[in-house]
Amino acid sequence: MALGDSKTWLEGWQPTLLSGLVAAGTNYRKTASSGVNGATVASYAADIAANLSGINPDVPVPAVLINLGVNEIGAPPASATWRANYQTIIDAVHAKWAIAVIYIAYPWRQGFDANAAVLHGYIDQLLTDNVGLCVAGPDEVAVIQPPDDGATNTTDGIHYSAAGNVAWASAWETTLLGT
């Protein structure tokens, strides 16, 4: 299960991730994807019921991968507000799939390294507040940013290129398999 903004909505990395997980002999499968183009944490939280409504709660979901925040990197909101909105998402996901582990990815956007670090601090606090429920997902600073020139791992400094999709899928696979 993947939730997020346009990076999830475009779904370029998900087929690669799924094939890697299947090849590794896991029981992971694509349950659904609820990426919303242009979503912020606030807008996703406000529409959380609609974003999750079409997904069958009876289908076991072992992991929920969340990648949100890139649309706030230009001007991060106040920590308490952003974290409260993210907590709304976490609570709704947990209510729907109580056994799922919720992975929260760390976003990055070319040219906004300092602001990405601010959101990473917010995510660190969310993880501390939700021990046993949420764990750290991959970090785009480590996976996407190092070689990115706006055309290597991204097409525009935000959205993944073909190489970026492979790198991001590999990062999720490593996170999920613990390798």
Q: What are the pLDDT digits (tens) for 119-152?
A: 999 999 999 999 999 999 999 999 998 866 767 8
Q: Amino acid letter at 12?
A: G
Q: What are the pLDDT digits (tens) for 1-57?
A: 889 999 998 878 888 888 888 888 887 777 777 889 999 999 999 999 998 887 777
| Burial state string for 166-175 with b = 16 or more CB within 10 A and e = fewer than 16 | bbbbbbbbeb
Q: Distance between CA 41 and CA 157 in Å, rounded?
A: 20
Q: Is the pLDDT of residue 115 over 80?
A: yes
Q: Is the pLDDT of residue 61 over 90?
A: no
CB 159 within 8 A of CB 10: yes
Give the pLDDT score at 148: 65
Give me the mean pLDDT over the 108-122 stretch: 96
Give me the mean pLDDT over the 66-89 stretch: 97
Whole-prediction pTM: 0.93
The CATH class for the domain spanning 2-177 reads alpha beta
CB 92 within 8 A of CB 54: no
Give the pLDDT score at 179: 62
Give the pLDDT score at 59: 75
pLDDT greater at residue 28 or residue 163: 163
Q: What is the 3-state secondary structure (H, E, C) of 96-119?
A: HCCCCEEEEEECCCCCCHHHHHHH
- Sequence spans of domains, the chain: 2-177
Give the pLDDT score at 32: 72
